[in-house]
Structures are given as structure tokens and as C-alpha cells.
Structure 1
């Protein structure tokens, strides 16, 4: 009988040995907590498709931010849900709009203990639910040397006006920076959004405001619970501006382009269905790469664990570690505060 010469199991024989040789580590500061703030609430409102997640009131948001800071979480990403929407998302850059009010409140609560981040997109603020203004709602700026306006070919799909949307993003960016946001999450997937927003911020004196580009944001089925969370008014889909799920190389190209335009950090979203893209983006750029463990990923694990089909804590920990192993330097996760507590105990 021939016995093995190489015995890899030696390095798995005890918890102490496994900890010592572990290749991938996750710490609380690598987690970011997404949080929803809804205008007009006096108490937090549970989100049915995301057990344990709520639409916050201002008071409950302050508490959630303080808890995240105490747990050692790295940041909090704020999403606003306004009471009134219109075609161009006017509430998005209103200094008294809910997202900007909430930003000031969270900055006052936690200061620099958390990186306070704000979602920079119009979908929560428009009455049609798209991430930009629709053609005809705002005059389209004519690029230098251009003839017919963008979209004159009559392409099929929602008529989101890319360049008019950039104008709105610039106004949003300045408003969010004025409210105290440390980092702006550009999630709209408009061409040129990073370069335009960077220029607007710099011109307004906000040269230190960090830009996170949702560079590889894929259209698909994993955003359903999020749309409940922000009370989305969307009908149809966003496939004319978010990435096709079959295109990995395109995601890498978007990330490289965003870095060239001035992005400080790039994002892959969703996380688990696109770990291959995450790994390729990590190899292609020299800035931090983040991933968003989206609402559908959260809801699946919560639903399965509620039925007793999987171990909840084990599945959450494994999912987060897998995203880190694929190359994410930080992860947006609805479990951020809870998981940070586990990590201190040895996830």
C-alpha cells in the first residue's frame, strides 16, 4: 500500500491552525451598511421582502448609524425615499430634500467614525423610476461639434437622455457634498458620469469628495426587494443603460473607463452572480474595488434560513468571505452591523 507523501489536511487539523493559514480575511471596517431613509416617517417601517431591514425615520437612522460605528463598520450608504416625485427628480438636489437632510443628521451623529456615503442616482426621486431624465423632460445639451441630438436613430427602449441626466447628476453631487457626504456613489450607469461629476465638484470647491463609480452594474432579477425598499415607480426595465448579464469583458471595460475619468473606487453589482467579473476588475485596475451584496442576495438567504433549509450565520459568513476572496476590498451588505459583531467573535 502506498501512503500519501503530501498531506494538506495537516493545515486543517484545528481551529487555531486554520486561522493561522487562512488566505482571505474579513474585518468590520471592510463592510458598508446600506440604509433607507423615508420622508415623513416617525417610526421605522419594516420592508416585507427584506426581513430585518427597514425604511428609517431620522431618529432611527441616527441610531442605526451609531450602532454601525460602535460595531466598527467602515461606512454607511444612504438612500432617500421622498414623499413627492417628479419627472426630473427635483427633490434629489433640494437642500431640504430627505436625502440631504438625512446626510447632515448622520454626519452630525457619527462625524468621521463612519464614511458617510450617499447614493447619487435619480431613480428614487423620479415619478417614472428611471435613473435619469427622459428625453423631452429637460432640453438636451448639444455636444460641441454635434449635429442631431443623442437618440435620434429611434432606438427601442426607455428614452433616458444620457447628457441631460449628467446635468442633474452634477447638481445632485454638489448638493450632497454641501450636505456633508464624504463619498458619492454614482449608480446611474450613464456614460461620462464620473468625469462630469468630478468636474462639477471640483469647480464648486469639493476637491476632497470621494467618487465611487458603480462601474459594472448589471441589469437583472436580483433588485426586486430593493425596489420595494425605495418604493420604486419603475415600469419596464433598465437594460438600455445597465449591463447585460452575459457581458463580462464589458464590465471590465466600464471599470477601466471610470478610473480613467477620475473614479477613486469602482463597484461591481450584484456580487455573488458576478464574482468572475469582480475578480477580473480587481486584476485590471489599481484603485479599490467594492462589491454590493444586493437585496435579492439578502432576501434569498433570509428566506432559506427562515425555512430551516440553511444555517443563517454560516451562509452569511460564507457569502461575505467568498466576495472578499474574489477581490472585493469592501462590501456593501445589509448584514454589515450584525456581521461586524460576529467578526469580533471570530466569524
Structure 2
């Protein structure tokens, strides 16, 4: 087992939607992100495979990971209406016509539903009744891919650098979610949504400025001068958002966005730092599978187990907080072959070993 390298690429190339990728120009001097090559959307890494051990967690081919209803900010709605795939645009129009969670802020998913389904391991990735309306059954792709929201843009089932990479994506999710909300409110204000409507979308009893999802979308007073032209409103939102510079977007997010940007930079530095702890000990270790040559161990995530060669697994108890060099020498002597520090690095990434 060798240390996985850290492939980097410009975030705009493959990692994030175009708008979100551009926003990072105001956040990161080098907006490069890990290419999560093990989380393959085109050839889903979570589908059943003959090489998997019995009982391995797999997703349904009818849903993949898309058992999640995304909140689409107003400018994302407009962008999808304008340039998504035919299926994607039609799926957005369907949500608009149904009216659930529809307001000038966008299409807001029920927070209780999102929380319950996203954390339910038995249903997530398996329950077809929860399938995203923007999912394209033929090919299993996202119909609003270029206009997907922060959760869908930063969530991966597997990470090349385990928990370290996941930490960066989680920080990006926090920042991008904040910026999405800020830009959505900016669009609503700029396009003359009436103060009475703004008050209904931001009642005093909801934290963090969360937009209200139960306003009556058919109420003309909610849309002001855009009453009768809801699609036109969302298209105008997309145009406004695209005209904003990265610095303007970050400014709209205020002090909170600047603070979150600092945490993103920290997480990126930590990801790029390959230095090993001076001492390591066992972290989260749960055996979830066995073969003749390896032990499948769950560390930081139940979706991303690691196959550890048996000869290395048998030496893990030697990493007990003593100096790393000493533990490596003893483990190598006992195994009859060198235990490379790179393998230890991967185990640290996956939180099977951790700094002591």
C-alpha cells in the first residue's frame, strides 16, 4: 500500500460549477482543488461490483447519491432555465409550477426533509422515492450540473486524501452556501422585490437568515413588478449574478464570508502539508471486510473504507503513541519487510492512525 498522491487541477475545470469556481478567485491565491478521482460520477463508484466483499454498502443504480432535494438560489434557477439540459430545464420548470418552497429567493427545499434523508444511511443512495427531480435516469447524470448548488458541488462519496480532503470540501461548502444566500438576497433587492415580501421570506424566528420555504408562490404581492413573469425574474437573477466580480461576491457575504474564506485557506494548507506527526496512535478503526490478503477498515467515513494489507494491519498495534520512527522500525522488523512512511501517511489521512 503506497501513499496516494495529491492530484490538483483548477477548480473551474472539473471540480465546481463555473460561478462558484470563479468566486474562489477572491479567496485562494491558487484555486486548485483535489481531483476526487475515486468518486466517479460517470461510472459510479458506489454501485454493486463483484470485487466488493459480501455486505459492502452500495447505492442503487436508479438513484446513485442523488437522493437529496437541492435548494436552488434564484440565480441558479435562472441559469438552469437558460442553459441546462432539456431534462434539467424541464425539471426546474416542474418545481416552479408545483410551487413547493418557491419564492423570490429561489426554490428552497424543506430543511426537515433534507436533514432526515441526508443522514439516513438506510435510505441515502438507495430509496428511489427520494430521487432528485433533476436526476437524469438515462446515464445517471445531473440535469442542472453547471448550476448545481453548494452541497451537490462539494459532496463526494470518496476522497483521494481521506479526511483531509473532506475537511477542505466541508469548509468550501460552508463558504459557498453563505455566498449563495448573499447573492440571492442581492438579486432580490436589486430587482425590486417589495419589503413586505422580504419580511415574509425572512421571519424573525428563523436563524442564519434562512429563507422561508412556505410562502405562497401564487401571491402576486410576493413578486412585485415581476408578478406574472416568474421565469423572467429568475433569468434576470442569473444575469445579475454573472455580472458580479469575485470580490463583489465576497463583499456581499460580509464578515462571515471573510471568516469562512480564512478557514478554506487553512484547510487547503493542511491538505497540501504532507508532514507526518511525530507520534501516531490508533484512530477510528472498524473492520468491515476480510479477504485472503487484506483487511477492509472503515476510518473517517462509512462510504470510503480502506483495504489494508494483512501484514500491515497486523502491525497497527505498534503505533501506540511512541515516536513514529521507533514504531516504524519495530513494525518493519516484525513484518519482515519495510513498512513505508507513505503507507502510514495514508492511514493518517483516513483517520485509521492519528497524531498522538
Q: TM-score normalised to the size of structure 1?
A: 0.22
Higher relative contact order (CA 8 A, sep 6+): 2
Which structure has greater helix proportion?
2
Q: Work out which of the two has the higher radius of gyration on C-alpha atoms and give 1 or 2.
A: 2
Q: TM-score normalised to the size of structure 2?
A: 0.22
